Structure 1
Amino acid sequence: MSEHLYNSSDLNSVLRTLSTLTNPAVTSGDVLPKKAETHDPQRSRPGVTQLVQSGPISPAKKPAPKSATLDPSTIITWPAALRYVMTTVGQDEETQLRIRGLITSQHKHEKQWWKAREALLERQRARGDKKKELNAVLILATRRSIGAPVDSTMAPPLLTSEKDENADELELAEYDRKVYKASVTMANALISELRGMKIPFFVTQKSLIRQEDAPASSNEQTGDLLTNSDLSDLQRRMLGLLEDICKE
């Protein structure tokens, strides 16, 4: 019967089950026989009811990892960032799932944009081939209409239109412009998500970033600051690490 009431590995379940088995008619005012009081060696121990009333036993909390207590906005070196990420993201399945979703979405959009560009180039080539065929037919027809000799074994010269070539180039440039704008928007959204997850080098305090061409002040230790180019390199390196950690 007890197997259907609780899981033996759950201490709280055991205590709740035992409390239901105690005699509800016995109250705190009831007095046990003197024989039980004088001869029961277990009387000095806390009873089941007392144990249940004391509440469930809370498991001892493990101390947080030292690196996890570090403020990620103050990290400016790769070793410190690596330790922090491995003890936070590396041990958090939910965060890994979120990052994996961001990476998958980015790769999906990049493939779609590339395939669409290849399809556009193919359409332009197809349009060019059709125009060349039409030009060839028109040239042959013109020669026949004026009685000029026509050599069927020799292909007629093909006419190309500079206007058409420019139109294709403009069309491709416009597509590339739209893709670039979309990729910037996607990158900003990705960075915003990483900031929300407190990923090092994406939440770096502005006071720790120095412009390359800005002169250092007398009170500033430039060796303890990051330049914008250094920060960009570290961000790219961090993205590679996150991708490795969150691989499916």
Structure 2
Amino acid sequence: MSSNGQQTPDLASILKTLADLNSQTQPQQPQQQSQPQPQPQPQSAAKSQVQQPSNAYQQAWQQQLDIASQGPKSSTPVNAPPNIIEPASIIEWSAGLRCVMKTVAKHDHIINEIRRMMKVQHEHEEQWFNGRKALIEKQKGREEGQKKLEEVLKAVGGAISTAPSNNTPEELAKELQTFDMKVHRAQMQMVREMSTRLRGFGVPFFGTKGDLVKPARKEVESGPGKDETGMIDEAELVKLQRKMLAFLEDLCSE
């Protein structure tokens, strides 16, 4: 007992109090141990963790932009856009003129080829003209020579031949007609070759589709050869070809 009259607690009570305190504090220790203190991370590692969500967002956004920029897929072939009219399908002058200005007129090598082709055409036409003129002069010379020969024979009392002469008007006309037929065949061959080349250059009215052309007809009424069926007769097509040749000649003139 103490001197101040208070009863000193016994040892058993003290031990019991300590045991109660230990039982209350021990369950909290594992919780404190299970939560380790965060360790300081390098600055680069922390920066990468912050940027990872941002980079993922940017990648997803970029993919959406790429898909949107491609646009809807079209089933139309690239080599055959629907807004371009095939030259072989054109049977009107205005459409043919637009086609030539958009295609042929923009290519210098085509212009040079057409210019050279027309130069050869003019040279041949000049040769044919001069050849026909020379033949006519030759016929006149033969006719005059035959007359002079007959006059000389008469003067000397010689016998004049009664055999058919090749200098009669009929024979001269036949000879000239034969020459013209040769020139015509040469012209037709030249026209076919020119039409083939012009068709290859994409010039309308040359190589027109056969199902768009019908035989030439005698028109009772004046008017264009194109009717409501969307076809054109041969006579009108020839007129358009000549008109296009005249236009190309002016376009390619030096």
TM-score (norm 2): 0.57
Q: Distance in 2 between matches of 1:117 and 1:163?
A: 18
Identify the residue that residue 210 of structure 2 maps to in structure 1. Answer: 206
Match of 1:133, SS? helix
Larger radius of gyration: 2
2:238 counterpart of 1:232: yes
Contact kept, 8 Å, 2:104 with 2:202, in 1: the verdict is no
The 3 A distance-change label for structure 1 pair 133 and 210 is closer
Identify the residue that residue 73 of structure 2 maps to in structure 1. Answer: none
TM-aligned CA deviation for residue 92 of structure 1: 1.1
Q: Distance in 1 between matches of 2:246 and 2:82?
A: 21
Correspondence 1:96-245 to 2 at 5 A:
96-142=111-157, 163-165=166-168, 166-212=170-216, 222-245=228-251
Q: Distance in 1 between matches of 2:95 and 2:82?
A: 8
Q: Which runs of 4+ in 1 moved over 4 A?
A: 159-163
Q: Distance in 2 between matches of 1:75 and 1:108?
A: 31
The 3 A distance-change label for structure 1 pair 196 and 101 is same
Identify the residue that residue 75 of structure 2 maps to in structure 1. Answer: none
Match of 1:224, SS? coil
Q: Distance in 1 between matches of 2:164 and 2:195?
A: 45
Deviations 1:176-231 (A, max 9, x none): 12111111111111111111112111132222223356xxxxxxx73422122221
Contact kept, 8 Å, 2:104 with 2:201, in 1: the verdict is no
Contact kept, 8 Å, 2:117 with 2:194, in 1: the verdict is yes
Give % identity: 34
Count of residue pairs the alignment pairs up: 161
The 3 A distance-change label for structure 1 pair 142 and 231 is same
Contact kept, 8 Å, 1:67 with 1:87, in 2: the verdict is no
Correspondence 1:65-80 to 2 at 5 A:
69-80=84-95
The 3 A distance-change label for structure 1 pair 68 and 83 is farther
TM-aligned CA deviation for residue 83 of structure 1: 1.0
5+ residue gaps, structure 2: 1-80, 218-226
2:99 counterpart of 1:84: yes
5+ residue gaps, structure 1: 1-65, 144-158, 214-220
Contact kept, 8 Å, 1:68 with 1:84, in 2: the verdict is no
Q: Which letter does structure 2 place at the counterpart of 1:194? A: L
Q: Distance in 2 between matches of 1:238 and 1:67?
A: 25
The 3 A distance-change label for structure 1 pair 110 and 230 is same
**RMSD, aligned α-carbons:** 2.6
The 3 A distance-change label for structure 1 pair 172 and 71 is same
